[in-house]
Structure 1
Amino acid sequence: MEPDQDSVAIENDSLSIARADSLNAFKERFTIYGKAAYGNGVLVPDAEVTLMDTLEKKLETTRTTTKLFRRFFGGRFEFENILPGEYIISVDLGTRVGIKKRIHLKSKNLDLGVVKNEVEFPKYEIGDYTDSTRIYFKRMATDPVEPDSINIRHIVVGLDGSANTVQIDSILRDSVFYTLSGELTRDSIPMDDMYVIYNDYGYMIHQSRSFRDRINEVQKRDGYVVFHSGDTLNFDNIFFEPSLKTPDVATFHYDDTTGLPRFHSFYDIYKVYTGPSYIERSVERGFYSALLFHGTSIAFQAWRKKSGQPALNYLPNFGNPEKKPNSYYSMITSFSVFTLGWVGYDWYMDRRSNYFTPKDEVTPFPKNMFVFSSKEWAINQAQPFVEPVYETRIWKWWKKREERKKERKRSKRKSVFD
């Protein structure tokens, strides 16, 4: 029996319509857009951005927008008329670590937001590890030598590098209470004097704010590492593993063609000495010190004279260039003086040396590891004025507003027994 011609025609028409719909859907294109930034969040102007397929074959290239007045609207990029699929976005920042992000474009425009060149701590796996026995971290020498090897002991390191092997009883917000190892003497130490606490299995118990600040600082620099064995190792980048369980430290070296990091135990590191790039911090502090000095001076003069004329004395005279302004050139010169002063001060105070673990219990660090924080100082100074506010009825009423809201919701619910 031959098929009906009308039914065949209808079937062919439906197939052609389906093909047309699928082709139209396939031809539908979308836009990929976003912003490129360094790891610290600063947008990158005029950087080359490449769109590649999953085999890293170059498809399109564009550049990020430049900044307006060197500050606004920079770092944006956009790829138009892109078919759905998986792609790789690559941004050349002119640094060793660029940006490479794998994306999946679906049937709509894709906003990548801000993509950064953040370097994660490299992941690795331990191979050929057959012994499952827990290994002790090398204990510090104690006098007298404690006979037991069962109890976990803690190493308490102060900001000056003084270390004690103890058994911690408790840690409160402002103090650490402990019993001296091998004795029955109990003592305590303020948390403000603490640098780091870890146990003899290599587990971190506490990291002070100064300790974390020093880690954040050395991770921005090059330099060299001094180990407890006396060996030294130059590095171009260093990263501390953000782990409290037997943390490792990875160093990267430009002269290593493999590009692979070298891993070291944190507890083997005695000192990290940063390279000449530390002068960046000195220049930054010199600039802000000069800015604070002149800003305060202008504000004081304006307040004393009840006039805005003192501020105009610090501006160049555009109307009459031959007439020298009163304070403009001296202000510009003072910025250099402040900067050179900070460079000399940091060199004299040996700011580039960062000590992390002591050699033994009787040898402190050559210098104190405290790092001043203006934010922490301001909070501490404000505590006597802020704490009474927490005890007022208005504050307690405000803090309990969520509880009252939940209570009202519960009261409106109907019980199944009603």
Structure 2
Amino acid sequence: MNQENNQKIVLAINEKPKIGQGILLSIQHLFAMFGATVLVPALTGMSPAIALISSGIGTLIFILITKGKVPSYLGSSFAFINPIITLKALEANPNSEIAFGSFLVGSFLVGLTYSFVALIIAKAGTKWLMKLLPPIVVGPVIMVIGLGLASTAIKMVMNNPSNEYDLTYVTIGFITLFITIITAIFSKGFLSVIPILVGIIGGYLFSIAMGVVDLQPVIEANWLTVPDFTIPFLDYTPALSWYVIFLMIPVTIVPIAEHIGHQLVLSKVVNKDLIEDPGLDRSMFGDGLATMVAACLGGPPSTTYGENIGVLAITRAFSIYVFIGAACLAILFGFCGKISALLSTIPTPVMGGVSILLFGIIASSGLRMLIENNVDFKIKRNLIISSVILIIGIGGAAIHIGDLFSLEGMALSSIIGVILNLILPGREFISFKNMFKEE
């Protein structure tokens, strides 16, 4: 970045903002991540309050590990929605051998995997990882995440709590979707970075008018309360199984690739090579430690948020203190009983309405990755790899070997995609950096 662009920086990474300015900027980052961070636990049956608290703590951990050099916010990862839903359903089944808390054990293992990859990066560098996870593998896997969740979003919009078709729910869902789309397309400035949150608020207000919201729990809730944390060895005894390992661990391919992409984008935004200093190993380890801590509290796995990188690019306020403020506000919100109760009263069609757009955007971002990296589908190996990943992942293919081993859906498609890329002839290394090249 030249001197002219440097003059446009509002706050440098280590620059302390004025109190009023810092609070406003922190609130903006809180709003930017709020909708997506709360949506993940809402879809998986986890606690939104704990998700907020764990995101705040995770962000503070990340900032500490990266020596305060990487302005990022960590929120709930969408990649693990389906695996968590699957494990929680099995936990609730009395005939299943999956023990209570297995999804949290799986989340902890995800954090360990991040940390293990960080250790390898520290010793061997980053080139091997980018070769293992090129766009032709990661792009289709990201598409599988979005498309695989499509039925979940539609059911939330179509069906009432009795699992029956309900026209009122359909109306609420599509009104919410409409508000979100209008905000995303036509709004400017601050509103343009929080269309999901605006859609949820608009859909919620419409739901109140339609008479499907019971505000009594909000009235009765205390302002300050302690969420129901799920602590290992206190609330459950961690139990490890091959099913949990093979359902959760392979999915880490996606957030790891996402993490690399975010660090490359962020490096361009702040004009500092964050891959080199403080290093991808540190940022990956920070992500991993944050995920392990979240799992120990009962929260979902963490990932760096592109929404907040977008806010950075718009505001040019890179101060790490702004992210510290946003993290502290998220923790405070998590301990506010009124807010927790309010989140619990959001009707499912509201969340389903925003999910239609959000899951579609996830799928489209995978397609965008392929396009921006100029992946040529005239080449048979590229066509084969993407086709196999999509059909196996969306179709729900599975490999079961008794009760010992199970690999299915997105996890199976990710592994097969990596294997195909390694063994098929004509492999060409395409770096993720191509996605962020200067025009």
Report the TM-score when normalising by structure 2: 0.18
The structure number with the bigger radius of gyration is 1
- Whichever structure has more helix as a proportion of its residues is 2
- Whichever structure has more strand as a proportion of its residues is 1
Report the TM-score when normalising by structure 1: 0.18
